[in-house]
Amino acid sequence: MQGEKHKHTQRVLRICHDCDLIQEIPPLKAGKTARCIRCHSILERHRTNSLDRSLALALTGIILFMLSNLFPLLSLKAGGVALDSTLLSSSIELFRIDRPLLSLLVFFTTILFPALSLAGMVYVLGSVKLGHNSQWIGPIFRFLRSTDVWGMLEVFLLAIIVAGVKLGDLAEIIPGISLYSFFALVIILALLSSTLDPDDVWQHQETTT
């Protein structure tokens, strides 16, 4: 928990990584940096606008997620017949051909879980942004941080590409809009996890409860 980028509301002791001098530093405001009084190396930095950027990325994620579900992922063309496959129809099709477990797995990892996670993230970040307080923010955020939903999406995307390559001999495969938005979603979510500063949320919790 304690680290160079950790923000705090009280004065804390920090040891300089370069000259080992121990010194007390005050809570930092956004964009401010605390430097060692002896050697001027950076002791702590408060990232600027990480909350705004994270919220914008989460909202972009929701739009991309909706596109991913509204449009076909792939179109298969064989023998003059074209078949559009969306995330939901893939899941239903798996159920139809007696693969209930796989069907549920696809449904949970590509639709339900990402939907709930994105909604939860927007709820948490939006609440912090608006200064709104709720007892749910902490538990939801802790849960979001403990699950690796985005990792699942990456695996799924890889599986689609592999399946596409394998089916390539049997049918003509046309990538759908959803495949691109899905790909963009994976990138946006990676950006989100690198931009997000969890202390923005914890600090909000500390000051409002």
Binding positions for Zn ion, rule: CB under 5 A: 16, 18-19, 21, 36, 38-39
Helix ranges (H only) for 47-134 are: 50-70, 87-96, 100-107, 113-130
Distance CA 101, CA 94 (A): 9
Q: What is the CA radius of gyration of the chain?
A: 22
> Which C-beta is closer to Zn ion: that of 38 or that of 77?
38
Distance CA 87, CA 107 (A): 8
Q: Residue 152: is it exposed, middle or buried by C-beta count within 10 angstroms (0-12/13-18/19+)?
A: middle
> Which C-beta is closer to Zn ion: that of 1 or that of 22?
22
In angstroms, what is the minimal distance from the CB of 153 to Zn ion?
Answer: 42
> Which C-beta is closer to Zn ion: that of 17 or that of 142?
17
Distance CA 109, CA 62 (A): 15
In angstroms, what is the minimal distance from the CB of 35 to Zn ion?
Answer: 8
In angstroms, what is the minimal distance from the CB of 18 to Zn ion?
Answer: 5
In angstroms, what is the minimal distance from the CB of 4 to Zn ion?
Answer: 13
> Which C-beta is closer to Zn ion: that of 39 or that of 187?
39
